[in-house]
Chains A and B, each alone.
Chain A
Amino acid sequence: MTQRNTTITKGIDKSLIWLWLILSAIGIMSIFAATYRDGDNVLQSFISLKTEYSRQTAYFIIGSILGIFILLTDSKFFTATANLSYAFGIFLLLLVFPFHSRVKGTESIIRFGTAFQLQPADLCKVFVNLALAKYLSRVETDFGRPRSQLIAATIALSPAILSILQHELGLALVYFSFFLVMFREGLSPFILIIGFSFSVLVVATLLVEPNTLALVLTAIAGVAIYILRKQIRRHRNILFLIIGIWVVCVGVQRFVVPFAFDHALEPYQVKRIYDAIGKDYVPKNAEAALEIEQKAGGKKKGGDYNVKQSKIAIGSGGIIGKGLLKGTQTRYDFVPEQRTDFIFCTIGEGFGFTGSVVFLSIYLLLLMRIVTVAERQRSVFSRCYAYGVASVVFFHISINVCMTVGLAPVIGIPLPFVSYGGTSFITFTIMLFILIRLDADRQMVLR
């Protein structure tokens, strides 16, 4: 037995385990704070499984057991089954189409009976991460070649496309975070810069009046030509490049974005994007208006109601907050979805600026720790996998928190380890524990 014990704990990064425990505990506490009603018998409710916090505790226990199983598994198992698990993940995603049940506007959930439900789009992150790491770590992969980059992107984005088809935009966006892994492995930074610039351009298109924006873009191009006039005299191509970029930008601003908003995106998604940047969205036709109303779930409250209430809750926390169970906004259901996507409000209101900063610092610590762990790996597979975990967790945190403080549109993605929800909690736990397992064996596995 002692022999066995040493093999489990040997080489395990204890700080990651501690951070995981702390975050899970904060999660259960926040859910408790958000859903506890005066007069509930706390002990009884924790055992009964009828309240959200008791169920989250159960998920925590299930997650722990799974984690122990993962720690008991040989790390070679994950490299060996990476492609198979990816195939399994895609199979699960495809299974959703015939067997999904409609829950809150998404078609991405499979139900088993009444109690248990599974969201493959969420779970698939683990498989994609494994498969991507496997592909990038292959000896024959030369990631400098565009063809490899394209294959890697396909691996990462196929589930995203399936996700979008299941009307689950938020989880689809998560898969874009794998570009950070590819960046670490040598993807040109221009792609990230272009991607970032593109999103800035899209937002600017929405915010600024079209003709003004076109003028601004033209002015920028003019200034660029003026500054680079000497180089242009030597290399004509630079001029064509600048003009090309200008044409693309104006094209995007003039045609692509309006087309995407009118045809590609659902009206309610467009409305959410508009809400996030604080503009009124006027639906194009009656059908669109009706659909937005349906998505709002029959509530009369405006589209930005969630964000407004969430900002009020967080803003009313002040410097040190109102204290656990003292928050008036979070305790009395002013913030919708506050046990899942808007769980950060509970912390923001209850513990104020201080508590929020401490809480987010724990996340930052976790991310930095994962990056450190990643960089000490000898195997490319482990390193890629670790970066994958860091990217996904980072994307979830930043989008979720930005959404609650009004910096991003309302995209329903949960806060890792903290938000209520079995699939989400267990998925992140599995991801983290596979990383811990791989890290424990960093001396043994070379590739």
Chain B
Amino acid sequence: MPVFNQSRSNIIRLIFGGMFLVIFAQLFNLQIISDKYKKMAQENALFPKRVYPSRGIIYDRHEKAILNNTIMYDLMVTPSQVKNIDTNFFCQLMEIDTAEFRSRIIDAKYKNGPFRPTIFEDLLQPELYAKLEENIWRFPGFNLQERPVRIYPFNAAAHIMGYVGEVDSTIMRRFNYGYQLGDYVGRSGLEQSYEKQLMGQRGIEFWIKDNKNRLVGHYADRTLDTPAIAGRNLRTYLDIGLQQLAEKLLANKVGAIVAIEPKTGGILAMASGPDYDPNSLTGPDKQTNYGKLALNVSGPLLNRAIKGQYQPGSTYKPIGALIALDEGLITANSGYDCHGVYLACNHPVKCEHNDAGHAANLRLAIAHSCNSFFCNVFRLAVDNPQYHNQRTGLMKWKEYINAFGLGHRIGIDLPSEDGGNVPDTASYDREYRRSWNSCTMVTLGIGQDKILNTPLQMANSMCLIANKGYFYTPHFVEKIDGQSEDDTVLNKYKVKHEVLTHIPDNLYEVVATGMQDVVESGTARAAKVPGINICAKTGTAETYRMISGRRVKLKNNSIFVCFAPRENPKIAIAIVVENAGFGATWAAPMGSFLVEKYLTDSIRSDRMKDVERIAATNLLPNWIIVEQYYQDSLRAAAWAKQTGDSTRWTKYKDPAFRINMRDTLHLNKKILPPILSNSPADKPKEIDIETDSTNN
């Protein structure tokens, strides 16, 4: 027995112990010192799944939901589970071919891997959903997943509500609300303005995923999850019945209607024509529909109530009168001896009336809308002797106009409002090299020249007159559900702007009397509603447009402003119908319908046929058809040039089509719309439009 080797047992023990010490050291390093592996383990196995809350609902003043949520379905596919399915039958259901089917499956695999469900087709049409739900058991690997979608139950108020779309990098940079690519965000209208309130608070669920990226269960028994908090509902001042009537009246017309409650600044209705079906931008075809709307030259996506800029025409006159009254330049009894034309300046300004005494005092002048009277009033204001200087006079006048809420953005709770324009001395200095006098811009006195207002501003100035000097910033949202003390969003709309309360009430009364006469005996007798004292003013503004490089005079814009009832104003309205004709013909009756609808909650049956008549009238100006034809053909030509596919382009070369177009455009029989030559950039100069022709 080699006993002498017994000491080696201790060496062997040492070797064993040493090895275990090395392992312990490495374990200590891995498990205690380094936290790299803990992070990597989380990356490996944790999937933070975002839970989207439902967006807030928007209600009108009668608690009717104008913008709501509904459920649509996405067809999801898990490529690894797709086995032994009847591809032909499936493709027949989906109305795709097998090549498309295969490419979509490959796309899905590429996007999320074969083990994760990926969208095969999003937002299924209801009938397709019904068909698929019946047969989904035949297709292992496919399933239907709910997805909340916005819905507009009244199909109305498209411009006000706006729509949601996928977030882009600009929005992600600008707002730190934690967006991720693919998230939906309000892209216009109230959806955009109140995004923060409507979006709610996203939740996070921690899921465990396995090595094949499948979600297998909740992590840590959901203790770390944060729940999603639903978006807050908006309560608006809107009256959806009034809104629908306004939209109906503007059908097939270019223009805008704004109705405000003067006491609160709450907007009762705001329509812009032409408009679009808001539901077309939520469903499965939203991309296509958006494309069509964006290419439409009549601009259905444009909210003309806040972005349309119009010369106010005669509707400016009450304001001009108030300025002159306040400056003490005229009194209620001041008159002007008008014989149908204002001749005090070098260029004559025509007046619609020539009978003597139609402008014998301010009340008559407003009722008859005498141009000479108000040209004179404007010149009095600019040449005001107390300022000794026309420049100061003009700037003082501008100060008044700005106080009426014109010439700058009002601050409505919709994005991208326009401010309109009120000219100042600088702009005339530029144009006339500082040699100008009150005659140069005398037509400002009748709401022409360089003054531009948005319909919203016109309605707001009516609120000012109705309120006798103060206004609240026009806005839609009255309150937000779950509002707390430190919610400051709506505070600015609670501020009373007493900008013109220094004008004595009796001066407002003088103007209001004149405006009431407009309806009783003046230009807007068509707008009379028995039992309601409406104060109103019509306007007919000349319009020009650059068409094919030429300045073309178009038909006049028909404008109407009013507030009612006179004693306790509850509604102030501004209406612009582009290229329609006299203010009294189109805009005035529209205003009276809206007043009647809002104040009596219905329209008398004998007047309903007038509503229908106006709604059915197509007043779309010809230039839209021309412009659309021109741009479509340009696109077709560009397409043909780019792709060599001339199928779209041939349509425009076909003589029959061109004759048809000529008839549509009421062109001279000898002139055909041009064939765009090889260079599509050439402008079709031959086009001539008879601007005065009516197409109805």
Q: Do A and B bind each other?
A: yes
Which A residues fall within an 8 A CB radius of B?
38, 143, 180, 183-186, 189, 309, 311-319, 328-329, 332-334, 348, 352-353, 356-357, 360, 363-364, 367-368, 371, 374-375, 380, 387, 390, 394, 398, 401-402, 405-407
Task: Report whether A184 and B8 are in contact in the complex, using a CB–CB cutoff of 8 Å.
Answer: yes
A371–B212 Cα gap in the complex (Å)? 46
Residues of B5-19 contacting chain A, CB below 8 A: 5-6, 8-9, 11-13, 15-17, 19
A158–B211 Cα gap in the complex (Å)? 41
A332–B12 Cα gap in the complex (Å)? 40
Whole-angstrom distance between the Cβ of B5 and the nearest chain A Cβ: 5
Our pick among A329, A352, A363 for the contact of B41 (Cβ within 8 Å) is: A329
Whole-angstrom distance between the Cβ of B29 and the nearest chain A Cβ: 9
Neighbouring A residues of B217 by C-beta, 8 Å: 38
11 contacts between A and B (CB under 8 A): A180-B15, A183-B12, A184-B5, A309-B44, A312-B37, A315-B37, A317-B31, A333-B212, A357-B27, A360-B23, A405-B23
Specify the main secondary structure of chain A where it touches its partner.
helix
Neighbouring A residues of B208 by C-beta, 8 Å: 328, 332
Is B210 interfacial (CB-CB < 8 Å)? yes
Neighbouring A residues of B45 by C-beta, 8 Å: 328-329, 332, 334
A334–B210 Cα gap in the complex (Å)? 7
Task: Report whether A312 and B27 are in contact in the complex, using a CB–CB cutoff of 8 Å.
Answer: no
Whole-angstrom distance between the Cβ of A178 and the nearest chain B Cβ: 13
Task: Report whether A375 and B9 are in contact in the complex, using a CB–CB cutoff of 8 Å.
Answer: yes
A328–B26 Cα gap in the complex (Å)? 22
A402–B27 Cα gap in the complex (Å)? 10
Pairs A-B, 6 closest by C-beta atoms: A315-B37, A316-B41, A332-B210, A328-B45, A315-B30, A353-B31
Whole-angstrom distance between the Cβ of A362 and the nearest chain B Cβ: 11
Task: Report whether B40 and A316 are in contact in the complex, using a CB–CB cutoff of 8 Å.
Answer: yes
A185–B2 Cα gap in the complex (Å)? 7
Whole-angstrom distance between the Cβ of B70 and the nearest chain A Cβ: 35
Neighbouring B residues of A180 by C-beta, 8 Å: 12, 15
Our pick among A186, A371, A406 for the contact of B12 (Cβ within 8 Å) is: A371
Residue of A nearest to B209 (CB): A332
Given A183-B8, A364-B16, decide whether A356 and B209 contact each other with a Cβ distance below 8 A. no
A318–B38 Cα gap in the complex (Å)? 8
Given A183-B8, A184-B5, A406-B26, decide whether A318 and B31 contact each other with a Cβ distance below 8 A. yes
Task: Report whether A387 and B210 are in contact in the complex, using a CB–CB cutoff of 8 Å.
Answer: no
Whole-angstrom distance between the Cβ of B591 and the nearest chain A Cβ: 68
Task: Report whether B5 and A329 are in contact in the complex, using a CB–CB cutoff of 8 Å.
Answer: no
Neighbouring A residues of B30 by C-beta, 8 Å: 311, 314-315, 348, 405-406
A309–B46 Cα gap in the complex (Å)? 15
Q: How large is the interface on B (under 10, 10 to 19, 20 to 34, 35 or more residues)?
A: 35 or more
Our pick among B12, B16, B32 for the contact of A184 (Cβ within 8 Å) is: B12
Residue of B nearest to A368 (CB): B13
Neighbouring A residues of B31 by C-beta, 8 Å: 314-315, 317-319, 348, 352-353, 356
Neighbouring B residues of A356 by C-beta, 8 Å: 27, 31
Task: Report whether A394 and B44 are in contact in the complex, using a CB–CB cutoff of 8 Å.
Answer: no
Specify the main secondary structure of chain B where it touches its partner.
helix
Whole-angstrom distance between the Cβ of B25 and the nearest chain A Cβ: 10
Neighbouring B residues of A328 by C-beta, 8 Å: 41, 44-46, 208, 219
Is B656 interfacial (CB-CB < 8 Å)? no
Is B436 interfacial (CB-CB < 8 Å)? no
A357–B21 Cα gap in the complex (Å)? 10
Task: Report whether B211 and A334 are in contact in the complex, using a CB–CB cutoff of 8 Å.
Answer: yes
Task: Report whether A374 and B219 are in contact in the complex, using a CB–CB cutoff of 8 Å.
Answer: no
Residue of A nearest to B13 (CB): A371
A371–B14 Cα gap in the complex (Å)? 11
Task: Report whether B20 and A314 are in contact in the complex, using a CB–CB cutoff of 8 Å.
Answer: no
Whole-angstrom distance between the Cβ of A100 and the nearest chain B Cβ: 30
A185–B23 Cα gap in the complex (Å)? 28
Task: Report whether A312 and B23 are in contact in the complex, using a CB–CB cutoff of 8 Å.
Answer: no
Task: Report whether A364 and B20 are in contact in the complex, using a CB–CB cutoff of 8 Å.
Answer: yes
A312–B36 Cα gap in the complex (Å)? 8
Our pick among A309, A315, A407 for the contact of B34 (Cβ within 8 Å) is: A315
Residue of A nearest to B1 (CB): A380
A-contact bits for B300-336, CB 8 A (1 contact / 0 none): 0000000000000000000000000000000000000
Task: Report whether A353 and B32 are in contact in the complex, using a CB–CB cutoff of 8 Å.
Answer: yes
Given A329-B44, A353-B28, decide whether A360 and B20 contact each other with a Cβ distance below 8 A. yes
Given A353-B31, A407-B23, decide whether A312 and B41 contact each other with a Cβ distance below 8 A. yes
Neighbouring B residues of A387 by C-beta, 8 Å: 12
Task: Report whether A364 and B37 are in contact in the complex, using a CB–CB cutoff of 8 Å.
Answer: no
Task: Report whether B210 and A315 are in contact in the complex, using a CB–CB cutoff of 8 Å.
Answer: no
Given A185-B2, A312-B37, A319-B31, decide whether A368 and B210 contact each other with a Cβ distance below 8 A. no
A143–B208 Cα gap in the complex (Å)? 60
Given contacts A318-B31, A328-B41, A352-B31, 10 further A-B contacts (CB under 8 A): A38-B216, A38-B217, A180-B15, A183-B8, A183-B11, A184-B8, A189-B11, A360-B24, A371-B12, A405-B30
Neighbouring B residues of A348 by C-beta, 8 Å: 27, 30-31
Task: Report whether B16 and A368 are in contact in the complex, using a CB–CB cutoff of 8 Å.
Answer: yes
Is B22 interfacial (CB-CB < 8 Å)? yes
Task: Report whether B38 and A333 are in contact in the complex, using a CB–CB cutoff of 8 Å.
Answer: no
A405–B26 Cα gap in the complex (Å)? 7
Neighbouring A residues of B46 by C-beta, 8 Å: 328
Whole-angstrom distance between the Cβ of A308 and the nearest chain B Cβ: 8
A76–B274 Cα gap in the complex (Å)? 107
Task: Report whether A313 and B211 are in contact in the complex, using a CB–CB cutoff of 8 Å.
Answer: no
A186–B5 Cα gap in the complex (Å)? 6
A342–B30 Cα gap in the complex (Å)? 16
A333–B44 Cα gap in the complex (Å)? 11
Task: Report whether B24 and A334 are in contact in the complex, using a CB–CB cutoff of 8 Å.
Answer: no
Given A329-B44, A332-B210, decide whether A186 and B38 contact each other with a Cβ distance below 8 A. no
Residue of A nearest to B208 (CB): A328
Task: Report whether B12 and A390 are in contact in the complex, using a CB–CB cutoff of 8 Å.
Answer: yes
